[in-house]
Amino acid sequence: MQALAAASKTVDSLKIVHSLHVYFLLVGDLELPIIYHVHRVRDGNSFATRRIDAIQKGVVVFTMIASFQKEEVGFDHQLPSMPAVPDPELLLSMEDLRERRLIDPRLPRTYRNKVATAKFIPWPIEIRFCEPSNSTNFDKRPASLKYWFRAKGKLSDDEALQRCVAAYTSDLIFLNVSLNPHREKGLKTSSISLDHSMWFHRSFRADEWLLFVISSPTAYNARGFVSGEMFNRKGELVASITQEGLIRKARTPPSPAVSKL
């Protein structure tokens, strides 16, 4: 989100991002600041291209290519249709789901204790899952997920900001869907994003409900692949997203040597 925001500030205000492609090169440090270096690759009449390097401790940790376009009249069609799902007003928030899990007798007490003691930091995005589950985090699940989301609070009319918020949301839970069919009790995993691409098709507001439909067609060779579509409440496809990431069983540290004496 920050990289896209930085790039958006360097282009003509009439040009809005329509696609971005990110490659994650190294694991960043959440405790250290990041410098975003924007390269002006091209400025045309209709399109502009920017390359953004995210730098920590003098090293590029990820790079993004973003393309911006002026709005113009063109052909219009849409093949994907929004699936039938409950309205967001009928669904529980993540905070409500957490409270329900704390007292649900169908869940193991060890899991409820884990939920109660885990540090809970609310996201700036409100999320409501279309298929809330009472299962624990080690149950196998379908390689798909659908949820409504919107920014908490009213945003300005800046369309660049609306797209930055959607880009931020697109990476929150995305790759985890590729792990759903492989979850089992006792299994610990690690996952790291390798690349992330997003195409913006139509204008939208990120402070109004959007439906994010995610599926993972395949996982192989320690890589998981996910694709997603974002729809507004009118059923219009506003964005398409893909991501590939490294997904592995967490490595078990070697046991300390025990003396035979």
Asked whether the predicted pLDDT for residue 137 surpasses 80, the reply is: no
Query: Can 87 be counted among the known catalytic residues?
Result: no
Helix boundaries (H) for the chain: 2-8, 94-103, 109-117, 159-170
Residue 244 is predicted with a pLDDT of 98
Among 21-35, 125-139, 223-237, which is the least confidently predicted range?
125-139
Give yes or no: 56 in active site.
Answer: no
The identity of residue 6, as a single letter, is A
- Please give the pLDDT value at position 3: 96
Contact 50, 7 (CB under 8 A): yes
Domains of the chain, start order: 1-71 (3.10.129.10), 124-251 (3.10.129.10)
Catalytic residue among 8, 67, 216, 243: 243
Lowest mean pLDDT of 92-101, 149-158, 188-197, 220-229, name the range: 92-101
Query: Coil, strand or helix: which one is 67?
Result: strand
CB within 8 A of 162, min separation 6: which ones?
A: 155, 203, 204, 205, 206, 207
Share of the chain above pLDDT 70, in %: 92
Q: Is the pLDDT of residue 208 over 70?
A: yes
**Joined tokens for residue 246:** 């490294």
Tens digit of pLDDT for each residue in 11-61?
999 999 999 999 999 988 888 999 999 999 999 999 999 999 999 999 999
Of the residues 19, 69, 191, 193, only one is catalytic, namely 193
Q: Residue 166's closest CA among 95, 69, 237?
A: 237
